[in-house]
Amino acid sequence: MERHFLTTVSFWLALSFPASAQQFPFPQHVRYTAQTIKPAVVQVVLDQATTDFYDAWKARYLVNGSVTNEFYVHYSADWTPELKNAISVSEGHGYGMVIVALMAGHDPAAQIYFDGLFRFYTNHPSRLTPGLMGWQQVSPDCAAAPDGDDSATDGDLDIAYALLLADRQWGSDGQINYLVEAKKTIAAVMRGEINREIWSVRLGDWATPDDKKFYYGTRPSDFMMDHFRAFQHATEDTNWSRVTDECYRVIAQIQSRFSPQTGLLPDFAVRLDTAPAPAAGHYLESRNDGEFSYNACRVPWRLATDFLISGDNRALVALNKMNGWIQTLTAADPAKINAGYRLATGKNIGHDTSLAFTAPFAVSAMVNPTNQIWLDKLWRHVASRKIGEDSYFGNSIKMICLIVLSGNWWTPQ
């Protein structure tokens, strides 16, 4: 089924599976860490921009699967991926589950969509690690793509976090025990996607100890410390603190040695067992694997979210470097934020722009009151962009960033 069947299917599902009451309905207006800031805009305007974009995002990307009560995020809805019949990736699936859980209340059918996303996740497991999701699916029957049936860590981290959100949002005494499922996924992440020798975040469950090149590599955009804190709270596994500490160690060493002027982090880092360093070009994806490109663009948002929630000063130190550099480079003009930069020099590596870069810098500006004017400019720029002006990646990142920017990002603990 395609998107134009979404309303009919949702109505049928609503009749068949009545939703539970929300415990944390949107908007929540969370009080973040002291001295952090939000855009200087009336709260109702912040909320309205978020709900309006959610409605457009859901209509464009949330799609019924090949099974009636499944949903997936159609990541190729407005672009053609290298594998032309690819329709879903675990990264987007994690985004979708987090977004829907946090927008419950505004969306009365949020639990129905969430449960449908959960079913799609469980029906498309990694062949290597039960409990993790195969990273890519193809049409017409949503089967695993060739080489797409192992995992990618970023998607699984968001899926696990979303299940904890769902437990807090709707409780776990309904058709799906969200808390039990969250703990299963967290355990699978620890088993298949954490290097328990040095407590680093692996690229996926395919990066095994037999392959040192990738086993001691990581993707800094997977450094989701707010998630790790929630995982520790839910499971009482203190090893998640080790993972958090390792992430901050890698950030500090790379900034000190390879990006002291910009503070930027690379798409991929290597040699975590000795001296962390940016990956060489074509390490895994592209010639820009060692630069600030379409993976690392998420780092400012992920780091800032942890600071907003936890107040961890290590995040503030890292972000102050990035924030100061990007404001100087662009002369405080958000429209001049480029889609990619050299780590050391800050030189452009392309000439396009994307919300995938601009929206995360907006969230990162929230960590310091000295950024208020810059933040307000970023808000106006990001909020004004329509759904058709970017693709799935930029629009999905914007959606999550709007939730944070509007003061509506709450944690399951």
- Tell me if 202 sits within 8 A of 195, measured CB to CB: yes
Average pLDDT over residues 71-98: 97
Looking at the DSSP bridge assignments, the partners of residue 194 are 201
Burial 349-361 (b: 16+ CB within 10 A, else e): beeebbbbbbbbb
pLDDT in tens, 291-315: 999 999 999 999 999 999 999 999 9
pLDDT of residue 67: 87
Q: Are 240 and 191 in contact (CB under 8 A)?
A: no
pLDDT at site 4 = 36
* Domain assignments of the chain as residue spans, ordered by start: 3-405
Which pair of structure tokens corresponds to residue 220? 């800094």
> Residue holding tokens 């975040």?
201
d(Cα 355, Cα 398) in Å, to the nearest integer? 6
pLDDT band at 5 (very low <50, low <70, confident <90, very high): very low
What is the per-residue pLDDT for 7? 43
Given 91, 167, 205, 267, the catalytic residue = 91
When pLDDT is cut at 50, 70 and 90, the band that residue 20 belongs to is confident
For residue 195, which phi and psi values (nearest 5 degrees)?
-80, 100
What would the two tokens of residue 267 be? 């798409």
- The predicted model gives 151-167 an average pLDDT of 99
91 given a catalytic annotation: yes
> pLDDT band for position 1 (50/70/90)?
very low
Listing DSSP states for 105-173 in one string gives TTBTTHHHHHHHHHHHHHTSB-SSSTTSBPSEEETTTTEEPTT-SS--HHHHHHHHHHHHHHHHHH-SS
What span, in angstroms and rounded, lies between the C-alpha atoms of 132 and 189? 7
Q: Of residues 13 and 56, which shows the higher confidence score?
A: 56
Q: Collect all residues with Cβ–Cβ distance below 8 Å to 84 and sequence separation of at least 6.
A: none
Taking residue 34's Cβ as centre, other Cβ atoms within 10 Å add up to 6
Give the active site residue among 107, 154, 312, 390. 154
Predicted confidence band at 240 (pLDDT cuts at 50, 70, 90)? very high
pLDDT attached to residue 19: 67
Helix ranges (H only) for 197-277 are: 212-215, 225-235, 239-258
Within a 10 A sphere around the Cβ of 400, how many other Cβ atoms?
Answer: 23
Per-residue pLDDT of 265-294, as tens digits, reads 999 999 999 999 999 999 999 999 999 999
State the DSSP string of 356-401. HHHHHHHHHHTT-GGGHHHHHHHHHHHHH--GGGS-HHHHHHHHHH
SS3 of 96, please?
Answer: helix
154 is catalytic: yes
- C-alpha distances in angstroms, 158 versus 93, 203, 229, 239? 8, 14, 13, 18
**Domain 3-405 in CATH 1.50.10.10:** yes
Give, for 189, the enclosing helix (H) or strand (E).
Answer: helix 178-193
Question: Is the pLDDT score of 226 beyond 50?
Answer: yes
pTM for this model (two decimals): 0.96
- pLDDT tier for residue 11 given thresholds of 50, 70 and 90: very low
| Number of neighbours of residue 237 by Cβ within 10 angstroms | 17
